[in-house]
């Protein structure tokens, strides 16, 4: 294929797409607005599924390298109530079919699979202009532009490419996350860290929760979750860490001290992460020369644990469709989207349902029953 393929965004979906195409001798250009690969933190652990993320990594030729970065045994799950009583406890499985990896390490692995120069850092796309024959001109914030035969939006939740094909916009899901973290060496953290177990602990109640993961070095990262109006986060003093965390901790009055300490003892600035999602079932008519992958196509909450896996599968399947239709971009995009729409609709609905279940009036028993069902299913 001699067509120019421009991918907007160097996240997991865009990198997988470029990597699989590169293995088939089809080169791409990834335009990324951030200045470098280390411009910001890449988040925490991901469990990579055997029916989606793992096949995508195999298609990209990086599966063996992926196995080397797996955090064996860190898939342990524990559900507790506000008093710290354990309601569900599953130990880590070192041979799990859904092993956990750090998102940043996985992203670095995919980047390493690409030739130098494929990723153009500091190229923030701000607008797109439709040209003849399905081509698009990309305008960048630095005043430059580029023309591509195939435009792929892999640019996440607030995609600039999405409006080219759809008027769908993310909707606040009703839940706000606030980041927390504990160091491994502070003795005052010992009881809180021990309560987490070897993997992830979910302390939940109606409308709220604390989700914390213990890493192999003993450190902890995670989130406080609160069902609050979208503007509620403005009440948190993000410039004064102690004051901000104290305000968040007030929302957990009466909880066990070792659980509350996950908030009051946090060393992370109280960064606010409102949860947004696209409505399940987002689809668009075939627009010549452009499509979406990952969160740009189907932003969802993290409560199905499938977003990153689906993003990588999107990239791999789009790449395979292009390989299967080397002289017909439109046929490739039609084939890709025909599978994408129903698959993403079902997973997005599951994610929305699980978010509701997590902090419903039936919590925490609803969460314990959810994980028990997954373990036995």
Q: How many CB atoms lie within 10 A of CB 142?
A: 10
Cβ burial, residue 123 (10 Å; 0-12/13-18/19+): buried
Both 45 and 150 in one domain: the answer is yes
CA separation for the pair 197, 230 (Å, rounded) = 32
> With contact defined as beta carbons under 8 Å apart, do 352 and 298 qualify?
no
CA separation for the pair 209, 340 (Å, rounded) = 32
Please give the annotated binding residues, written as ranges: 40, 47, 103, 295
Q: Give the domain CATH number at 269.
A: 3.30.9.30
pLDDT at 308: 93
pTM, to two decimals = 0.94
Q: Kindly state whether residue 86 falls inside one of the protein's structural domains.
A: no
Please give the annotated binding residues for NADPH, written as ranges: 40
Both 340 and 295 in one domain: the answer is yes
pLDDT at 75: 83
Domain span including residue 191: 172-276
Both 140 and 184 in one domain: the answer is no
pLDDT at 125: 97
CA separation for the pair 303, 351 (Å, rounded) = 5
Q: Provide φ and ψ at 82, rounded to 5°.
A: -65, -15
- 247-272 pLDDT, tens digit each: 999 999 999 999 999 999 999 988 99
Q: Kindly state whether residue 246 falls inside one of the protein's structural domains.
A: yes
> With contact defined as beta carbons under 8 Å apart, do 122 and 131 qualify?
no
Both 157 and 134 in one domain: the answer is yes
Both 119 and 254 in one domain: the answer is no
pLDDT at 216: 83
Please give the annotated binding residues for FAD, written as ranges: 47, 103, 295
Both 264 and 188 in one domain: the answer is yes
For residue 31, the cross-strand partners are 8, 120
Query: Residues of the chain whose pLDDT is less than 50?
Result: none
Q: Give the domain CATH number at 108.
A: 3.50.50.60
Both 36 and 132 in one domain: the answer is yes
């Amino acid at each position: 294929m001699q067509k120019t393929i421009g991918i907007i965004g160097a996240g997991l979906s865009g990198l997988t797409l470029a990597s699989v195409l590169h293995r088939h001798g089809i080169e791409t250009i990834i335009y990324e607005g951030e200045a470098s690969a280390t411009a910001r933190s890449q988040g925490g652990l991901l469990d990579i599924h055997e029916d989606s993320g793992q096949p995508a990594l195999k298609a990209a030729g990086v599966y063996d390298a992926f196995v080397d970065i797996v955090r064996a045994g860190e898939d342990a799950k524990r559900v507790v109530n506000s008093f710290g009583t354990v309601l569900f406890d599953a130990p880590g499985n070192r041979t799990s079919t859904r092993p956990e990896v750090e998102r940043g390490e996985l992203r670095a692995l995919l980047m390493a699979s690409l030739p130098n120069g494929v990723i153009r850092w500091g190229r923030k796309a701000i607008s797109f202009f439709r040209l003849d024959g399905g081509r698009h001109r990309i305008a960048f914030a630095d005043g430059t532009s580029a023309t591509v035969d195939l435009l792929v939006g892999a640019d996440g939740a607030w995609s600039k490419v999405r409006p080219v094909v759809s008027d769908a916009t993310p909707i606040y899901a009703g839940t706000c996350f606030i980041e927390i973290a504990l160091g491994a060496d502070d003795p005052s953290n010992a009881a809180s860290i021990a309560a987490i177990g070897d993997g992830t602990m979910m302390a939940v109640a109606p409308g709220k929760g604390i989700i914390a993961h213990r890493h192999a070095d003993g450190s902890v990262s995670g989130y406080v979750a609160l069902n609050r109006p979208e503007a509620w986060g403005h009440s948190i003093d993000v410039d004064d860490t102690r004051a901000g965390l104290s305000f968040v901790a007030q929302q957990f009055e009466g909880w066990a001290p070792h659980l509350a300490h996950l908030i009051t003892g946090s060393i992370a600035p109280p960064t606010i992460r409102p949860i947004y999602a696209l409505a399940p079932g987002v689809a668009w008519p075939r627009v010549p020369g452009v499509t979406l992958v990952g969160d740009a196509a189907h932003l969802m909450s993290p409560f199905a644990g499938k977003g990153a896996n689906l993003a990588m599968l999107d990239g791999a399947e789009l790449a395979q469709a292009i390989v299967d239709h080397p002289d017909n971009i439109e046929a490739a995009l039609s084939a890709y989207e025909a599978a994408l729409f129903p698959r993403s609709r079902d997973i997005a609905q599951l994610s929305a349902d699980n978010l509701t279940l997590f902090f419903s009036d039936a919590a925490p028993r609803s969460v314990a029953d959810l994980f028990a069902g997954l373990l036995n299913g």
